[in-house]
A and B are shown apart, each in its own frame.
Chain A
Amino acid sequence: MNFFLISLIKIVIVFGVFMTTLAYLQWVERKVLAHIQSRTGPLRVGPHGLMQPLADVFKLLTKEDLLPPYVNRIFYLGAPFIAVALALISISIIPFGPEIAVAGTRTYMQVGDVNVGVLFVLAIAAISVYGVALAGWSSNNKYSLLGGLRSSAQMISYELPLTLVIVSPLLLANHLSFREIGNSQAGYYLGFIPRWNIFQMPFPQIFGFIIFMIAAFAETNRIPFDLPEAENELVAGFHTEYSSMKFACFFMAEYANMVTITCVATLLFLGGWQPLFPAPYSNYVPVAVFLFAGVLCFLHAVRPARKRDRYTFPVFALAALALAILFALPWFQFVLAPIFWFASKVGFLLFTYIWVRGTLPRFRYDQLMHFAWTFLFPCALINLLLTALFVAIF
């Protein structure tokens, strides 16, 4: 009974946080893109547009749900649900922190640990091609079909380098469960270089990490690899015929895949919840970060750029200071510090996603395939061979 109750609580927490992240990731993306292009981004709904995700959800829910007469009904209606359900499953095996003790019960910061966790993520990723492929096919529209075909070809092609490059951190960790992989990256070289896989000595895994991130961009259909939904060629790709909630499902699936794959990257290469600095210093970092953020907000409130900032920035400052105090308390520190490190790494990678979107142009389709098969695939293979050789020797 205890097990079921704890699992239920964990599921509720993870689901709530995950959904909020998805909603606000879109806000963050719009804001960052706007600032890259010297605009201000969403600003109307709520202070700094913070209520924008809520407004978007209402807009999508209340839009008319069109069902074109020429589509294949069953698959057309099923495809968005396949896409979104498969995108939301994988987060359940991601560990966000080590074992903790809350009110006498010891538990892991993870919904469920699977012995073959890495394979599970790969399996779900392999199945999730169908959502996109079916959406494209069932829409009975040449743009959608081309988008669906492109997307499935792209996802199959980039799965190869992705899988090959995942093997090298597995060789270093010697385990397939994410929890063990995270645990295996604890400790420091020379007292200050963390033993994350990206810094592991046999062969600097940073090349593996870069290949992984490139393949991850392609797997999630993001710029510069967003050929399946290239507007100037394919209208909107596989979801051209979708509107309202069904469109929102694809949208959510894309963002959920992004978050999941950055979590996997964090666990495999960036040490998961392991802090960047050795223990005595790492505990002060979150406090310092939030104090700095709070002071910065106060300074902006004193010299406001817009009239409304005089009222909003003090609120943000107080929230940041409250978080700083929370991180200074020993008990909260014990629970929250791993989550802080995990979230900051994932946040950094997500920021990279948006940054790349704001910076790079789109590939051409033949360039995309050529890149996958003649450059990325051999690179992943060489990386794997060298890692295996070094693991075998040392």
Chain B
Amino acid sequence: MDTLLFIVFAIVAVACALNLILQSHPISSALSLIGVMCSLAVLYLLLGAEFIAMAQMIVYGGAVMVLFVFVIMLMNAGAEKRSGKSWFAQFAGPPLLVLFAAVLAFLILRAVPKLRTVEFGTWVGGTAEHIGQMLFTEYLLPFEVISILILIAIMGAVVLASKEID
């Protein structure tokens, strides 16, 4: 059952990611990205990370991507104009990217040979309780620092968006 789920959602994720870079309209790309994020949330659940899966849906799917869609709708951004690319990018680009992916996959398989197999339910370490324990004991300082970072980002966004530049 989890094998089937993995295959289905991995295919959905890759298809949506491909759609993201092939679609010319920003809103189609944004929706494909939401598809990637939701299928990744399912994969996180399979890996026993239930809290991260829900945080993925709430933070990425709910907050970040709503912001994207909102901005696209607000600017009424049309389809992207096709502009000329260099012949190098046109012809050598895709093979180089595939090569990059192959090298990455090869390195992963070489570097970590003894990997476990994933069976749903064999490890449930990622409950909200565990994450909370870790966040407020071992990772307390990074947690506080990151809250300050968020605060600065909010203020920065407000200042940037409200400023009129001549």
Range, interface on chain A: 20 to 34
Q: Does A25 contact B (CB under 8 A)?
A: no
Assess whether A137 is in contact with B58, with CB atoms less than 8 Å apart: no
Assess whether A152 is in contact with B66, with CB atoms less than 8 Å apart: yes
Assess whether A126 is in contact with B63, with CB atoms less than 8 Å apart: yes
Assess whether B70 is in contact with A123, with CB atoms less than 8 Å apart: no
B58 shortest CB reach to chain A, Å: 5
With A and B bound together, what is the CA distance between A156 and B27 in angstroms? 19
With A and B bound together, what is the CA distance between A129 and B61 in angstroms? 10
Majority secondary structure, A binding face: helix
Assess whether A120 is in contact with B70, with CB atoms less than 8 Å apart: no
Q: Does A148 contact B (CB under 8 A)?
A: yes
A119's nearest neighbour on chain B, judged by CB, is: B54
Assess whether B61 is in contact with A75, with CB atoms less than 8 Å apart: no
Assess whether B70 is in contact with A126, with CB atoms less than 8 Å apart: no
Q: Does A145 contact B (CB under 8 A)?
A: yes
| A116-B128, A137-B27, A176-B128 as given contacts; A129 in contact with B73, CB under 8 Å | no
With A and B bound together, what is the CA distance between A120 and B34 in angstroms? 17
**Which residues of chain A have C-beta atoms less than 8 A from B74's C-beta?**
149
User: 1/0 per position for A113-153, CB-CB distance to B under 8 A?
Assistant: 01110011011111101100110110000000100110011
| A152-B70, A153-B70 as given contacts; A122 in contact with B58, CB under 8 Å | yes
With A and B bound together, what is the CA distance between A158 and B14 in angstroms? 34
User: 1/0 per position for A143-178, CB-CB distance to B under 8 A?
Assistant: 001001100110010010000000000000000100
**Which residues of chain B have C-beta atoms less than 8 A from A152's C-beta?**
66, 69-70
Assess whether A129 is in contact with B66, with CB atoms less than 8 Å apart: yes
A128's nearest neighbour on chain B, judged by CB, is: B62
Majority secondary structure, B binding face: helix
**Which residues of chain B have C-beta atoms less than 8 A from A136's C-beta?**
73
**Which residues of chain B have C-beta atoms less than 8 A from A75's C-beta?**
27, 31
User: 1/0 per position for B36-56, CB-CB distance to A under 8 A?
Assistant: 001001000000001100110
Assess whether A119 is in contact with B70, with CB atoms less than 8 Å apart: no
Assess whether A119 is in contact with B51, with CB atoms less than 8 Å apart: yes
Assess whether B70 is in contact with A133, with CB atoms less than 8 Å apart: yes
**Which residues of chain A have C-beta atoms less than 8 A from B41's C-beta?**
123
A116 shortest CB reach to chain B, Å: 5
With A and B bound together, what is the CA distance between A159 and B58 in angstroms? 11
Assess whether B73 is in contact with A123, with CB atoms less than 8 Å apart: no
Q: Does B147 contact A (CB under 8 A)?
A: no
Q: Does B57 contact A (CB under 8 A)?
A: yes
Assess whether B54 is in contact with A123, with CB atoms less than 8 Å apart: yes
B27 shortest CB reach to chain A, Å: 7
Q: Does B24 contact A (CB under 8 A)?
A: no
Task: Tell which of B31, B51, B58, B128 touches A126, judged by Cβ atoms closer than 8 Å.
Answer: B58
**Which residues of chain B have C-beta atoms less than 8 A from A130's C-beta?**
31, 34, 66, 69
**Which residues of chain A have C-beta atoms less than 8 A from B50's C-beta?**
114-116
B153 shortest CB reach to chain A, Å: 16
B11 shortest CB reach to chain A, Å: 20
| A115-B50, A116-B51, A119-B54 as given contacts; A126 in contact with B127, CB under 8 Å | no
Assess whether A119 is in contact with B69, with CB atoms less than 8 Å apart: no
With A and B bound together, what is the CA distance between A220 and B70 in angstroms? 19
Task: Tell which of B38, B51, B58, B73 touches A133, judged by Cβ atoms closer than 8 Å.
Answer: B73
**Which residues of chain A have C-beta atoms less than 8 A from B70's C-beta?**
133, 149, 152-153, 156
Assess whether B127 is in contact with A127, with CB atoms less than 8 Å apart: no
B51 shortest CB reach to chain A, Å: 6
Q: 9 closest pairs, A vs B, by CB? A: A126-B62, A123-B57, A119-B54, A123-B58, A137-B73, A116-B54, A126-B58, A116-B50, A123-B54
Q: Which residues on B are within 8 Å of A, measured CB to CB? A: 27, 31, 34, 38, 41, 50-51, 54-55, 57-58, 61-63, 66, 69-70, 73-74, 127-128
- 29 residue pairs of the A-B complex, CB under 8 angstroms, read A114-B50, A115-B50, A115-B127, A116-B50, A116-B54, A116-B128, A119-B128, A120-B54, A122-B54, A123-B62, A126-B58, A126-B61, A126-B62, A126-B63, A127-B34, A127-B57, A127-B62, A130-B69, A133-B66, A134-B31, A137-B69, A137-B73, A148-B73, A149-B73, A152-B69, A152-B70, A156-B63, A156-B66, A159-B62
